[in-house]
């Protein structure tokens, strides 16, 4: 399902948010790799070190597409003029005692469309996809002080805590990480207990 919204900074340009199916995930690998390389090289804390090799990024997205293919992950993208400008993916927890939850594993927005609500719209779509997948609890982590931290707080996520020097920034420096959770469809889950 796609939803569109005005980007605000270019009135004639629309951004569509949609969930990719397995075939679309495989086809999007080069564009996803470009987006990841741009983000890491610009300093994003998303599991990789700068400079990120395009081939390494392709390998990562190949693994993710395989997981989408078997229903282990959900991949949602933002597209402008048929070009990928953002993504978020959910990791559906496959163990029986945690089948009620998912993790927001990665959120990236292209530099050119940042600060125009794309990240928020991707997160709204991710939360809806989690509910549709029967998940009532989401978790995520982000670098302390990052723009993402402000976004998640503004969207009603609850901080669990901070871990000092948890992960390396793309430049190699150890930085603190903040962990968050958000309960979704809590009433439905509690009624089932």
153-177: average pLDDT: 96
Residue ranges making up the domain that contains 39: 3-192
pLDDT tens digit sequence for 103-113: 999 999 999 99
The tokens of 59 are what? 């390998």
Banded model confidence at residue 12, pLDDT cuts 50, 70, 90 = very low
Which CATH number belongs to the domain containing residue 117 in this structure? 3.40.630.30
3-state secondary structure of 103: strand
Angle at 62 between CA 117 and CA 75, to 5 degrees: 30
What is the count of structural domains for the chain?
1
pLDDT tens digit sequence for 24-51: 999 999 999 999 999 999 999 999 999 9
The tokens of 129 are what? 């996809």
Whether pLDDT at 151 is above 70: yes
The tokens of 80 are what? 């402008």
């Amino acid at each position: 399902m796609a939803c569109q919204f005005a980007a605000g900074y270019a009135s004639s340009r629309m951004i569509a948010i949609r969930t990719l199916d397995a075939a679309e995930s495989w086809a999007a690998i080069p564009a996803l790799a470009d987006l990841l390389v741009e983000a890491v090289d610009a300093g994003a804390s998303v599991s990789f070190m700068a400079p990120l090799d395009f081939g390494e990024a392709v390998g990562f997205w190949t693994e993710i597409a395989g997981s989408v293919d078997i229903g282990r992950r959900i991949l949602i993208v933002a597209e402008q003029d048929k070009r990928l400008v953002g993504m978020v993916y959910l990791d559906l927890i496959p163990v029986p005692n945690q089948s009620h939850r998912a993790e927001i594993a990665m959120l990236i927005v292209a530099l050119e469309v940042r600060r125009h609500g794309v990240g928020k719209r991707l997160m709204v779509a991710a939360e809806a996809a989690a509910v549709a997948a029967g998940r009532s609890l989401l978790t995520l982590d982000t670098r302390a002080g990052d723009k993402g931290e402000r976004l998640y707080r503004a969207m009603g996520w609850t901080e669990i805590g901070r871990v000092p020097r948890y992960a390396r920034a793309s430049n190699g420096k150890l930085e603190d990480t903040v962990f968050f959770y958000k309960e979704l469809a809590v009433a439905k889950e509690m009624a089932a207990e």
